[in-house]
Structure 1
Amino acid sequence: MHIPGTLTPPSLSLPLPPRPAPQPPRQGPLSLFKLPPIRRDPPVQSEAQQSSDVLQAINISFPAYLRPAPASFDVSEPGLLGKKISRLYELIDPKVGYTASNSKFIFGNSYLNNERTFSDYGIVSGDTILLNPGSRPRKPVIYLYPPSSLADVTIELALASSWSFSAVHPPPRTTVPPGEPYTAQSLTWTVAAEPDGTLVDKISGMEVSYLYWEAVAQPVTPGSSRATTPIADIETFDPAHPSVKPGDSVLLPTSKVPGYLDVVLKALALHTEARTSFITFWLPDMLKHEYVALRFVAQEAYERAAPMHIAPAPDVVTRVFMLFRGVPVSDLGLWEAASVRAGADGARFWAGVVGVDAARAADSGLFRVLEWGGMEVQ
């Protein structure tokens, strides 16, 4: 009861109504990438979290467009967050089973600069980043067959700025072409060449059967590259945007690929050893798929991406470069045109696409150069 003239005691607080449960964020359109959310401000970390002695872990995931998508995994190391992004390449290679140096990391819808640290991007232990595998041109090899012994042959190979050399044998002289962007590269071999194909490198003294190189293409998000439609047109080949589509390829069950390639490669002027090396090199990668779509790049397009100059000038240069990709069974309906094309005369078809003069390429009275290589398109 309240007595007049006295102060009213403060009323007791009534219980607050229950707070509504937080709503999950609205999902936007599905993306080929499962990207972590954008973090606007770096989170505040305790001194213990920042310590270089604390074990810190990052989850690595892969783009959804890879089928089958590899399983995600964790990498950990004391003080990892304070190290450069480039450190991840060394940590993940044993886990993914291939050299990841041609891949790119993504966090918050942005590519990560290899020279910056994880902390620079506000990444904390337990966060997930995306590993976007890049396509890598593999094992282009160059054979030289002069009609008689040549004491000095100079081979200069240049690359467009969308890729760069990653492995070369024998060791060449490497330069940046005058007037080209710093990302462009060229290398030079000087060899003695024999009619049977034996080469002696003038710098190292090594005796080899061919010149070997590999390159790393600039990693990109999945996109389109202009392929040729119809194939007979001159295409643009960009190693950073490789493309294999139903309109420019053939589709085969993996079991039929070796026989198909043997016939086609023979028409493309590859001799027995080259055909065998080509097929056995790529077969393990193809056997990972039930169906494979493949195509060969026109020499004119390939030459623009990797121009080669040889002195003395050869009479015949044949450059064969294959692109292929696995096709899941669920997508076979989209590849009917490529499947039909596989039933045609592949030897004649691809010889026309690549632009090969098989008769001159087999003439031992001419100075002949042969190169083959390829790339799996992810």
Structure 2
Amino acid sequence: MEQKQPKSTTQSPSSNILLVFLVIALVVIIGAAAGIYFISQTENSNQNASQNQNTNQSTGFQNINGKVLCSENNDCPADYSCVSVYAVSGEEEKLCVRNDALNINGATNENTNSNINHNLNQNTNQAVSQNLNQNVNASPIEVADWQTIDYQRYDHGFSIDLPADWSANYYSMGMNEWENFLLVYEYGEETGYLDLEIQFFNNSGSLSSWVTEHQQMLQEDVGTELTKESKTINGEEAYLLSGNYQQDDQTYYNQWQFLQRDDRTYQIAVTGNGVFYQQYLDEINQVLDSFKFINLKPLLTIIEPTTKSDLATGEAYSIAVDWLSEPEMLNISDPIFLNEENFVATRDYYKVGTITNGRYEGMDLVNILEVPEGPAFGKDLYRVVYNSSENSFVYLEKYSYNLSYFQMNFTYDSEAEITDLDPPETITIPNLRVYLQEELYNENKRFSLMENLERLFVDATAGNVYFDPTQNCFIIETPDHLIKQYHLKLDFINDFSEGEYMLDYSSFVPLITWSDGTEVSEEYTYNEMGGCGSRDCHSIYTSEELGGDAALEITGQTSTDENIYEFQSDDNEMLQEIYDLYYAPYPEEKVTYQEFVADHPIFFWKDPFGHWVRFQKLIFLPAVECGKPVIYLYPEEKTEVKVQVDPNGGFSLTDPEYPQGGWQVTAYPDGRLTDSKGNQYPYLFWEGRGINYTIPKQGFVVAREQVESFLSEKLIQLGLNEEESAEFMDFWVPKMQAKPYYFVTFVDQAVFDSLAPLKVTPRPDTVIRVFMDYQPLEAPLSVEPLKISTPSRKGFTVVEWGGALHQ
């Protein structure tokens, strides 16, 4: 869950010191007859106590473990006792105090007094970072499985061990200070979070001096004193800074570890709060101790050509490849990063084979998996021929993402073909009248990263065929060790209209006869629908998720004599949810629930592998509009501008009115817009219906009360200015107050461009389109953070923001 962190530990800090002040007076009256012991009042103060932010000013008593009030021992947690506490002023409070701090269980009065002083006023690093904010409900978590993460890009090389169920995200190529190499974010449901980030800083001096200076800056940033501990990790000198602080009844924990390699200091920052963080204290220490520098892979430098050129000769030809059994990762210095306008965040390079014929014989075939800047939940694929003798790339156009986006000179081949990479369009399932059809859209995932695959059968051409339960797709492994996705092709489906499932849903008319003799004539889909569209290849459920096979009954047959099932009971949670979410377009009125159920809104069919596939009638799909997209224009001088938007589902509202051919306005550098009638507008406004796309699985979980501060931070990162961000929040924050938590994500700009193409004339230098989607939650959940890179606003800039309006 994305927590509101009072001050970011990754911002450039300054200096301040938290001065720890502990003033405790504990008096327990010992009576011989009553068996009450007297513990003399003790008091300890630091010389700078007047600045202690954690001291209760009314009593002079240090708040330890949240200052739990009590009236008797039963009010306290286990291993705590309710005792009277007196301030110097003589005021009394009854608080829960740890038994080991009191040293009860047979300790003498003399030892008790000594132990209280020792436990409550310890000045060691451990006392500051652990004792003062210990949470007694944190039971350690034992991690059985670990993973080693290797980072090798340019002249950076290190490894770190993480629990196997933690996900690590690569964030940059390590070209600039402060940029994250790696981000790990884990959340425990209702128990807190932890965040791990790795960065570097240029430092030609000693590590110890640099850390001391950095410590002062961090202390001002987090508002608390940090302890400094020297250590040795895997033979390397290292330093650890640690310290906690309180805000909004939360304790935030911080650790920073520093190591030096050549003229760079590497920082591993771990922050978090709650029981979740404390449960992983041992593992966090193991993670920090596991960090080590590793040998760098040879850096292969690609030289940018002097012109953009196509090596095509006029006729297509086939390239033969000797494929590697496993991809080999390369370390490339790529000219694409020399121009910020290429908007590339990271690239991974994998040698997948050696070319054995033609002009490229002996050269390497390399896959490039690229993460673009801005919100992104997928990787773009480029296949290139690497010529080591000339330090050059040739992009194979037929097997690469859109090359027209490149803002640099490059060489490409528009004719070369690799027949091994052209998988069969259709795969026949043995002995059945069911087929698999190649998906138009394909996620560029490495096969080795796929988990929980179910091997189904072997195809003579495609090889092993698997079922992927994460996206309910059928997949094969390509010769270059990526995946290719397939969906069901059924004989009882007519008029199949395929959409790229990531951006749209497929639709068809199933050839079904219901038990009453009527035939289906309306369109259905078997895609899993997300916020504004389909999410997975198929909508598949287990028997348990449907309430058991007994919850279903046969209500029809397909044209291939297969049974069709529906829920026996109309009182069904899935049916009710679909009814609640469907939208009747104006001027139609929403049908009653009874009419809805009678109209066969969903039915189920069992595929040959035992999966229950859900089919849903299109008219009952959840309707989501693009909510208040507004377009700002910032030319460098007064300019006549034409703006055209073409949302897939058309407009539901525009302001000013959208004329045929688009808006024509006069735009000024300060953002003012004037139409032909002299009317002024701050922006162009539109809403559209029927936008369909996959909700990114990456995002953030935000508590209701933190929505505004969260959006304020993220919108700036996404490229909006303060005024644009304020208008965004004015519209969206009130709509995100009904539930205690929200999953918030932002749709990749390239995806939104395909959903609602935007054309601006004259062509702008910078286009920033921010489209938010969200889902209300009753309780927090753990999600993979969405990577965000901040775009640069240069020249004539167009900015648009909007979001999904869930009806």
More strand by share: 2
- Does 1:134 pair with 2:623? yes
Which has the higher relative contact order, 1 or 2, with Cα contacts under 8 A spaced 6 or more apart? 1
For the Cα contact (< 8 Å) 1:302–1:321, is it kept in 2?
yes
For the Cα contact (< 8 Å) 1:137–1:374, is it kept in 2?
yes
**Residue 205 of structure 1: aligned partner:** 678
Distance of aligned partners of 1:277 and 1:66 in 2 relative to their CA distance in 1, 3 Å threshold? farther
Give the CA deviation at 1:205: 3.3
> Matches of 1:271 and 1:311 in 2, distance apart?
23
For the Cα contact (< 8 Å) 2:698–2:783, is it kept in 1?
no
**Residue 689 of structure 2: aligned partner:** 216
> Matches of 2:735 and 2:801 in 1, distance apart?
17
Distance of aligned partners of 1:63 and 1:140 in 2 relative to their CA distance in 1, 3 Å threshold? farther
> Matches of 2:566 and 2:737 in 1, distance apart?
28
**Residue 350 of structure 1: aligned partner:** 788
- Does 1:64 pair with 2:554? no
More helix by share: 1
Number of aligned residues: 225
**Residue 156 of structure 1: aligned partner:** 644
SS in 1 for 2:804: strand
1:273 maps to a residue whose letter is: E
2:628 maps to a residue whose letter is: K
Give the CA deviation at 1:275: 0.5
Larger radius of gyration: 2
SS in 2 for 1:273: helix
Give the CA deviation at 1:328: 2.0
Give the CA deviation at 1:240: 2.7
> Matches of 2:672 and 2:783 in 1, distance apart?
43
Correspondence for 1:173 among 655, 659, 672: 659
Give the CA deviation at 1:285: 1.5
**Residue 374 of structure 1: aligned partner:** 803
**Residue 243 of structure 1: aligned partner:** 695
For the Cα contact (< 8 Å) 1:252–1:292, is it kept in 2?
yes
SS in 1 for 2:715: helix
- Does 1:109 pair with 2:599? yes
Correspondence for 2:666 among 192, 216, 224: 192
**Residue 425 of structure 2: aligned partner:** none
Task: Report the RMSD for the aligned CA atoms in angstroms.
Answer: 3.6
> Matches of 2:654 and 2:599 in 1, distance apart?
34
> Matches of 1:65 and 1:109 in 2, distance apart?
16
SS in 2 for 1:336: coil
User: CA deviation digits over 1:244-290, x for unaligned, max 9?
Assistant: 5xx32211111112111111101112111110111121112210111
Give the CA deviation at 1:138: 0.6
* Within-5 A mapping of 1:184-333: 188-202=662-676, 204-217=677-690, 239-243=691-695, 247-329=697-779, 332=780
Give the CA deviation at 1:298: 1.1
> Matches of 2:652 and 2:587 in 1, distance apart?
18
Distance of aligned partners of 1:289 and 1:257 in 2 relative to their CA distance in 1, 3 Å threshold? same
For the Cα contact (< 8 Å) 2:644–2:663, is it kept in 1?
yes
User: CA deviation digits over 1:296-320, x for unaligned, max 9?
Assistant: 1111111111111111111111101
Correspondence for 2:782 among 336, 339, 345: 336
> Matches of 1:256 and 1:188 in 2, distance apart?
38
2:682 maps to a residue whose letter is: S
1:169 maps to a residue whose letter is: D
**Residue 127 of structure 2: aligned partner:** none
Distance of aligned partners of 1:256 and 1:87 in 2 relative to their CA distance in 1, 3 Å threshold? closer
For the Cα contact (< 8 Å) 2:578–2:622, is it kept in 1?
no
Distance of aligned partners of 1:307 and 1:88 in 2 relative to their CA distance in 1, 3 Å threshold? closer
Distance of aligned partners of 1:307 and 1:85 in 2 relative to their CA distance in 1, 3 Å threshold? closer
2:635 maps to a residue whose letter is: P
User: CA deviation digits over 1:356-375, x for unaligned, max 9?
Assistant: 523xx1x4xx1110000001
Q: Structure 1: where are the runs of 5+ without partners?
A: 1-25, 37-60, 71-83, 93-104, 112-129, 175-186, 218-238
Give the CA deviation at 1:206: 1.8
> Matches of 1:135 and 1:154 in 2, distance apart?
28
2:776 maps to a residue whose letter is: G
TM-score (norm 2): 0.26
For the Cα contact (< 8 Å) 2:578–2:620, is it kept in 1?
no
**Residue 222 of structure 1: aligned partner:** none
For the Cα contact (< 8 Å) 2:647–2:755, is it kept in 1?
yes
SS in 2 for 1:173: coil
1:350 maps to a residue whose letter is: I
1:277 maps to a residue whose letter is: E
> Matches of 1:374 and 1:300 in 2, distance apart?
15
For the Cα contact (< 8 Å) 2:667–2:673, is it kept in 1?
yes
**Residue 100 of structure 1: aligned partner:** none
SS in 2 for 1:137: strand
For the Cα contact (< 8 Å) 2:552–2:567, is it kept in 1?
no
- Identity across matched positions, percent: 26
For the Cα contact (< 8 Å) 2:646–2:758, is it kept in 1?
yes
Give the CA deviation at 1:34: 7.8
Q: Structure 2: where are the runs of 5+ without partners?
A: 1-549, 554-564, 602-618
> Matches of 1:158 and 1:167 in 2, distance apart?
13
